[in-house]
């Protein structure tokens, strides 16, 4: 398959056949994928990207199915990218998310694409960004992106989503404190699913009262209770998602370099690493210092508070070298990397706090290689990160 056989105009015109063929080309990174992606980027920036993430068994797919039904009733065209985990033995995936969305996928206004993570760490697949751009260009709004069952450190969805919805199962209890420095802190909306279970209201209360959870724009992150199987609470969740879209706008991934310009360089760099080690799960390449500091200058010129995180020391295995940077603006937008996804959520949260109080921080993260796999981290070793407000 090559780029000439994919009709971009057909994609823009709503052809489901052309859309499916383009998704296959982009997902498998076949010859012509980069050319097609560059053409699609000219038409991106209209869709509201909604990330749906959370622990395995929280009911993410069932909740997405309920959202699809509500969106279809309102006459909106919606696309779903559902990422399933791949087997470490066979490399295959069941793609069970699609099965759970059978009802929502019946409408002509809905397009669902299930993909395997193929060993990529962070909760998404390596080519997820290209598929999101495809659905954006094709005119779907919103685009729902469901991650694999995520642990504390799988926060890659925050790089792509305009609105991040973290779905929590009832009965978290003390685990709220244990996992807050990670996936909970990327949430724009927190949803306790399976609201008909006795522990649901207690979990919602724990989330609302947990100290240190990340705030957006100075307000507490909303906590909602839903029962996806019955649809209870789903209209309210959709209203909150739409409200957040009005507040923050669309195209966050493009503003941060995930689509335009830098997006192609990121994709190409990832492909080069995989060519050197086929099938290996690799962290995303960091932005160059020039790109990062240009972004910092733009944020400051826009009157936004900015903090800079810098790796000052590493021990053992670490995917980022000493001197690596992560820049964060006051509402949590970021560029760069200090660990390849392991501790970004916690560092971003501390950076937002540093912007608010002006106090620098020296952060220390560490885990053995054996413990890394047990807790779902992408790397072992130890890293020390210095965070300070810029200006």
- Residue 374: pLDDT above 70? no
- How do strand 334-336 and strand 325-329 relate by DSSP bridges? antiparallel
Q: How far is CA 187 from the centre of its chain?
A: 10
Mean pLDDT, residues 313-326 taken together = 76
- Of 183-187, 217-221, 266-270, 365-369, the range with the lowest mean pLDDT is 266-270
**Given this model, what pLDDT does residue 149 score?**
72
Of 124, 121, 264, 122, the C-alpha closest to 113 is 124
Let me know if 218 is exposed, middle or buried by CB neighbors in 10 A (0-12, 13-18, 19+): exposed
CA–CA separation, 252 and 230 (whole Å): 32
The better pLDDT of the pair 212, 46 is held by: 46
- Cβ distance 30 to 50 under 8 Å? no
- Label residue 123 left, alpha or beta by phi (over 0 means left) and psi (-120 to 50 means alpha): left
- How many CA atoms within 13 Å lie on the side-chain side of 120? 25
**Given this model, what pLDDT does residue 185 score?**
75
Q: 3-class DSSP state for residue 167?
A: strand
Average pLDDT, the chain: 78
Q: How many helices (H) and strands (E) does the chain have?
A: 14, 12
- Residue 340: pLDDT above 80? no
Question: In sequence order, what E strands does 184-315 have?
Answer: 189-192, 223-225, 306-315
Q: Residues near 279 by Cβ (< 8 Å), separated by ≥ 6?
A: 91, 118, 119
- Of 177-191, 279-293, 307-321, the range with the lowest mean pLDDT is 279-293
**Given this model, what pLDDT does residue 102 score?**
52
- Residue 354: pLDDT above 60? yes
Mean pLDDT, residues 246-263 taken together = 67
- What is 195-210 written as a DSSP string? TTSTTHHHHHHHHHH-
**Given this model, what pLDDT does residue 220 score?**
78
**Given this model, what pLDDT does residue 372 score?**
45
Give the residue ranges of DSSP H helices in 138-261. Answer: 175-179, 200-209, 234-248, 252-255
Confidence of residue 154 (pLDDT cuts 50, 70, 90): low
Write down the architecture of domain 3-253 according to CATH. Answer: 3-Layer(aba) Sandwich (3.40)
Quick: pLDDT tens for 83-117. Answer: 887 544 444 444 444 444 555 556 889 999 988 87
Quick: pLDDT tens for 10-52. Answer: 999 989 999 999 999 998 888 889 899 999 999 999 999 999 9
- Residue 207: pLDDT above 70? yes
**Given this model, what pLDDT does residue 214 score?**
56
Long-range contacts of 251-256 (CB under 8 A, 24+ apart): 251/44, 251/45, 251/162, 252/49, 252/160, 252/161, 252/162, 252/333, 253/49, 253/129, 253/132, 253/159, 253/160, 253/161, 253/162, 254/44, 254/45, 255/333, 256/159, 256/295, 256/333, 256/334, 256/335
- Cβ distance 182 to 346 under 8 Å? yes
The better pLDDT of the pair 227, 273 is held by: 227
Mean pLDDT, residues 235-250 taken together = 92
- Of 28-32, 219-223, 254-258, 264-268, the range with the lowest mean pLDDT is 264-268
CA–CA separation, 158 and 193 (whole Å): 20
Structure tokens at 66: 């309920």
Instruction: Please work out, in degrees rounded to the nearest 5, the angle formed at the alpha carbon of residue 327 by the alpha carbons of 53 and 345.
Output: 30
Domain boundaries, the chain: 3-253, 286-389
> Which residue reads 């509500």 in tokens?
70
**Given this model, what pLDDT does residue 292 score?**
85
The better pLDDT of the pair 331, 193 is held by: 193
Quick: pLDDT tens for 169-192. Answer: 888 655 555 455 567 778 899 999
The better pLDDT of the pair 254, 2 is held by: 254
- Residue 335: pLDDT above 80? yes
CA–CA separation, 223 and 299 (whole Å): 29
Residue 73 dihedral angles phi and psi, to the nearest 5° = -65, -30
């Amino acid at each position: 398959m090559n780029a000439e056989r994919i009709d971009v105009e057909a994609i823009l015109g709503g052809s489901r056949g052309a859309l499916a063929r383009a998704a296959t080309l982009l997902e498998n990174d076949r010859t012509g994928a980069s050319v097609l992606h560059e053409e699609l980027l000219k038409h991106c920036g209209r869709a509201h990207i909604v990330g749906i993430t959370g622990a395995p068994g929280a009911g993410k797919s069932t909740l997405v199915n309920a959202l699809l039904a509500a969106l279809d009733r309102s006459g909106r065209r919606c696309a779903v990218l559902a990422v399933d985990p791949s087997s470490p033995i066979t490399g295959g995936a069941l793609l069970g998310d699609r099965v759970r969305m059978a009802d929502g996928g019946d409408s002509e206004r809905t397009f669902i694409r299930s993909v395997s993570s193929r060993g990529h760490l962070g909760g998404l697949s390596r080519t997820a960004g290209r598929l999101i751009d495809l659905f954006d260009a094709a005119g779907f709004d919103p685009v729902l992106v469901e991650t694999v069952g995520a642990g504390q450190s799988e926060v890659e969805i925050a790089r792509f989503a305009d609105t991040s919805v973290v779905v929590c199962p009832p009965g978290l209890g003390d685990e709220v404190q244990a996992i807050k420095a990670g996936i909970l802190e990327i949430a724009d909306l927190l949803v306790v699913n399976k609201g008909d279970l006795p522990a649901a209201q207690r979990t919602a209360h724990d989330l609302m009262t947990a100290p240190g959870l990340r705030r957006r724009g100075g307000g507490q992150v909303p906590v909602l209770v839903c029962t996806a199987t019955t649809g209870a609470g789903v209209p309210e969740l959709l209203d909150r998602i739409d409200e957040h879209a009005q507040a923050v706008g669309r195209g966050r991934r493009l503003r941060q370099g995930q689509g335009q310009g830098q997006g192609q360089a990121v994709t190409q760099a990832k492909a080069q690493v995989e060519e050197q080690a086929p099938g290996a799960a690799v962290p995303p390449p960091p932005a160059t210092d020039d790109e990062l500091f240009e972004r910092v200058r733009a944020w400051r010129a826009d009157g936004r508070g900015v903090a800079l995180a810098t790796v000052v020391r590493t021990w053992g295995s670490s995917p980022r070298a000493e001197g690596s940077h992560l820049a964060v603006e006051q509402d949590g937008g970021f560029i760069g990397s200090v660990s390849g996804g392991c501790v970004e959520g916690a560092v971003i949260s501390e950076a937002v706090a540093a912007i608010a109080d002006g106090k620098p921080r020296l952060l220390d993260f560490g885990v053995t290689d054996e413990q890394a796999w047990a807790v779902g981290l992408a790397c072992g070793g130890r890293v020390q990160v210095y965070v300070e407000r810029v200006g």
